[in-house]
Amino acid sequence: MRALLYEGRGTWGGSRRMIWLLFRVLGEVLGSRCVLVCGSAGWLKARLDEEGAQYVWLEEGAAFHSLGHSVLHGSRGTLLVTLLRSIPHLLKVWVLVLRVRPSLVILCESRDLLLLWPALARRGARSVFVSGTEVEMRSRPSRLAIRAVDRVWAISEPVQDALIAAGVPRRKIDVLPPLVDEVSDRFARAHRFHLHRELGLDPRTPIVGIVGSIRPEKGQMIAVRALPAVLAANPEVRLVVVGVPMASHPEAERYLASVRQEVHDLHLADRALFLGWREDVLEVMCGLTVVLMPSEFEGRPFVALDALRLGVPIVGHDIPSLREVIVPGST
């Protein structure tokens, strides 16, 4: 068997974390017959380079990702422009698929299914989609693409439930086992004050952090609105928001603007800090006093799992996936 894993964005997120972990597991079994294609500079590429892993780097992946977004959400003019920009990457990916001749292709973006389908169908490879969030099911083209694959690998049971509710047959869904990265105590200790130094804060300053893509389901607005009550108890607390708007979410940019406006209206500009996109997410988390997770939905709560391994307490909403991780009084 030959396996090809494709990840065009390379950003830090649930399904991309799972692609990385799957690559490590499959690589141990298949060796050189497991090929990972990374199409964008970001968390995944940095992690691969750090580990010295062998992978295929196709740098036009960002344009390819934009093409997928235009297919699902853009105008005809936008689609034409991004199509022209994406042609080199499309050709390279198709040539790679023809050369590798994989029997299994694993993807984690529904738009990549739409765009890679001609290459997949021509070679007759079985296709697998790794689903990490319910947001993918909101677009009709995305739903059609996901239903068209041979198998769907959900990263948790809540994600499986969301897929079934969206019409994906239960018989074609598998729930992946709880694969996790290892984080050493030495790593956590070495970066304990990484964030304090960056922000110029006293090491004793409490920092509450919310980490993840910026969209309404993640609850950044809840964190900002709760901050005045926290400051009333301890005026030194800082809130850091780590992440950028989720590209596939139509309301994400507007939501970020509304969260920033709320910070302005509440006069919290020196207490609520937006750190944006970070390559050093784990290092940042080492410096947090508390990880805040006011999410409405989590597929597999990697942020909570990372916090546990780093020894950082968690406060989160009472939702199924977090209920499996957060034990009151001990996490």
Question: Tens of pLDDT along 6-43?
Answer: 776 655 566 667 777 788 888 877 887 888 877 666 66
Q: What's the whole-number average pLDDT of the chain?
A: 79
CATH topology of domain 185-323: Rossmann fold (3.40.50)
**Which tens digit of pLDDT belongs to each residue from 181-194?**
666 677 778 889 98
For residue 94, what pLDDT is reported? 77
pTM: 0.69
Intra-chain end-to-end CA distance of the chain, in Å: 41
Kind and range of the H or E run holding 298: none
Alpha helices for the chain (secondary structure H)? 14-30, 43-51, 61-73, 76-100, 110-123, 140-148, 157-165, 185-190, 194-199, 220-233, 252-265, 281-286, 302-310, 320-323
Pick from 325, 240, 224: nearest CA to 287:
240
More confident residue, 321 or 171: 171
> Would you call 58 helix, strand, or coil by DSSP?
coil
Nearest to 318 by CA among 302, 301, 296: 296
Q: Determine which of 94-103, 115-124, 245-254 has the lowest per-residue pLDDT on average.
A: 115-124
331: Cα within 13 Å, side-chain hemisphere: 21
The pLDDT of residue 289 is above 90: yes
Structure-model confidence comparison of residues 262 and 94, the more confident one: 262
Tokens (6 digits) for 326: 């957060």
CATH 3.40.50.2000 domain locations along the chain: 3-175, 185-323
**CB-CB contact of 115 with 90 (8 Å):** yes
Highest CATH level, class, for 3-175: alpha beta
101-158 pLDDT per residue, tens? 888 888 877 667 666 666 666 666 788 888 766 555 666 666 776 777 888 888 788 8
